[in-house]
Chain A
Amino acid sequence: MLGHQGDVQFMRINKIPKDFEKAKSKTFFAKSERSGHVHALCGDYELYTNPKNPSEFIVVVGKDGAVLNHTLFTNTAFEGFFDKTQATKVADHRPSFFKPGIYRVGIQKRIDPLRKPITLFDRIRNRMSALLGKITYKQVNVTAVDVAD
């Protein structure tokens, strides 16, 4: 199952991938600083984050389900906002509903045409320099020889 709310996209998966760690508290997925709107999941779920990629999340939704709201950031300050399975007043995007299950949540990808891509050669070169650094070598003591002799 694939879904999206603006540029926040979600996909149902079978198990939690390796790199994810359970988050201590719930938070919104994305925020627009200009409009002050956030994409926030509210309801019965556990949040997992990827320390290597802060815009990637896993949510494990419990039996009560969860609602992905697009709402004002100030609403998230209300006590228990993230725990109520409830649709809030719509900002720009309608609410989406997450049935019980595991979901991957991420932000739509866009390429940066000004960033030089890392090629296979770059990877090999980096790997080689790392490997060369690990090679141990014996220090050879060179004694000075008088050329005149």
Chain B
Amino acid sequence: MDIDMLKSENIPQLHEWIKKNFRDIFNGERYRNFSFEKAFNAVKFAYQLKRQPAPFLVVCENPLEAQLIKNAMDILYKRKDETFLNLFNQCKNLARAKNIDYEILEKASNALFEYTLTKCVVFVEENIRNGKWKHLLLHVSEKILTPIGISADHNYFIRAFPNLGQEPASTNFRKLWQHHIESCLMVVITCRDVAVASKYPKHFRFNGNRLLHSIDSPAVEFGYSHPIFDASLYFINGRIVHNKTLITNGFTYQDFVQTENAHDRVVMLEIINEKGAEAILNFFNIEEVDRKVIKHHLNMPMFNAFGEYVGDKEVEEEETLILYRTKEKFRNIYDPRRPFFQKNRLAWIRFVCPSTGTNYMIQTSPSFRNALDAAKASRAFNTRQSYAWMQRS
């Protein structure tokens, strides 16, 4: 199955499938609905299909934590750590018992996880101190494409399309898919006796265009058992933020001026713009270039108590347009009206209207000298009409 094979009539079907299967991931339900018993049974079923004995399940909060815990388990197993081996064998026997007591199995698995976690934290901290901590991280498991976990969505889609959801419920394939949904597991690293799994993210945050976005918290928020395993991802308007300290610790004007990193500069500018007019004025060294007061003669629509339109009322409203720009020029700041210059000022046009409560700033070209021209250029359409609104709210 290739994406090129999709026809226009498949698109609504595909949308429906995405909505049905992914909604609970993005609203955090799959994280909240996690049940150890269902997850264990799902992994056990996947192993049965491969004619393998059931493994015991260790559940982590995020994929990074799962990988590091798995690597730490490898080290402890090879070192023949006595406590670890005792717990390991106990879990293995409980998982392969005829009548499984899920509560006890979960407790045993948690005990093993806690023990490995404390050891893993020590390994990682030691390696950070020695500057070699990447060794532990770089050892990435290759057995990550399991039929349970996020890769199952892709697997299911390519195999079942275009009869999505219509294949008989009795097939192993359909059962496996059902197990995958119920398991609420994002990633499973499969080993002979143990499966180390990760839960889905706790929370996703988006902007109005459904792009991952948050200026003060992670856009993809994972849980973690220790702060060094925090794998949350930060995004601003769909752009990934590599330097997350810009969001967690903040930044100064000097940071903005001195940074040579274009990504960091985008992030800083977007955060300041998002915080609003006062934040922009406080952060930058700004001068007022022009100010215009515009009178709009409006036909304000009137509605009755039932929400029905009953006619227009003529009113006059005043709007103040203020054009600002920074005193300094910055490298790698572009002006679409003068595309050959690579060092420019930043400029904003501010719209203030007390009657509608409007007070916001948007970025404009620094080559404007007249606030009215800047306001005209910010309109959604290119039109020769004067800057006069007939309806506004």
Contact = CB atoms under 8 A, between A and B. Distances in A.
Given A108-B380, A114-B332, A33 B389 contact: no
Contacts of B333: 113-114
Given A33-B208, A113-B346, A117-B336, A96 B391 contact: yes
A7 to B, nearest CB: 8
Interface in A106-149: 106-119
Interface in B376-393: 377-381, 383, 385, 388-393
B379 A109 contact: yes
Contacts of A97: 301, 309, 312, 391
Contact of B336 (A11, A106, A111): A111
B339 A2 contact: no
Interface in B20-55: none
Category for how many chain B residues contact A? 35 or more
Given A3-B392, A93-B356, A97-B309, A113 B301 contact: no
A2 B332 CA distance: 36
B307 A86 contact: yes
Looking at B332, B378, B381, which has the most chain A CB atoms within 10 Å of its CB? B381
Main secondary structure of the interface of B (DSSP, over half): loop
A70 B378 CA distance: 21
Interface in B278-308: 300-301, 303, 306-308
Contacts of B75: none
B383 A11 contact: yes
A104 B380 CA distance: 9
Contact of A33 (B207, B266, B357, B366): B207
A93 B393 contact: yes
Interface string B340-379: 1000101000000000110000111110000000000111
B173 interface: no
Contact of A108 (B307, B332, B362, B388): B362
B301 A95 contact: yes
Looking at B213, B307, B333, which has the most chain A CB atoms within 10 Å of its CB? B307
Nearest to B300: A94
Contacts of B307: 67, 86-88
Main secondary structure of the interface of A (DSSP, over half): loop
Given A3-B391, A86-B308, A87-B307, A113 B335 contact: yes
B175 interface: no
B390 A3 contact: yes
Looking at A4, A67, A104, which has the most chain B CB atoms within 10 Å of its CB? A4
A148 B388 CA distance: 85
A1 interface: yes
Interface string A1-37: 1111110010100000000000000000011110000
Contacts, number: 118
A65 B335 CA distance: 41
A65 B208 CA distance: 27
B344 A9 contact: no
A110 B300 CA distance: 27
B302 to A, nearest CB: 9
Contacts of B363: 110-113
Contacts of A67: 301, 303, 307, 309
Given A33-B205, A86-B307, A11 B381 contact: yes
A43 to B, nearest CB: 9
Contacts of A5: 391-393
A122 to B, nearest CB: 9
A1 B390 contact: yes
B343 to A, nearest CB: 12
A108 B262 CA distance: 25
B309 A106 contact: no
A85 interface: yes
A96 B356 CA distance: 13
A133 B333 CA distance: 34
Interface of B: 205-208, 210, 213, 262, 265-266, 269, 300-301, 303, 306-309, 312, 332-336, 339-340, 344, 346, 356-357, 362-366, 377-381, 383, 385, 388-393
23 contacts: A1-B391, A2-B385, A2-B389, A4-B393, A11-B380, A11-B381, A33-B207, A33-B208, A56-B380, A67-B301, A67-B309, A70-B393, A87-B309, A92-B357, A96-B393, A97-B301, A97-B309, A104-B380, A109-B378, A112-B363, A113-B346, A114-B265, A117-B334
Shortest 8 CB-CB distances between A and B: which pairs?
Answer: A106-B380, A3-B391, A97-B301, A94-B393, A117-B339, A87-B307, A86-B307, A87-B303
Given A5-B391, A116-B339, 16 more contacts: A33-B206, A33-B213, A67-B309, A87-B309, A88-B307, A95-B303, A97-B301, A106-B380, A108-B378, A109-B380, A111-B336, A113-B346, A113-B366, A116-B334, A117-B339, A119-B339
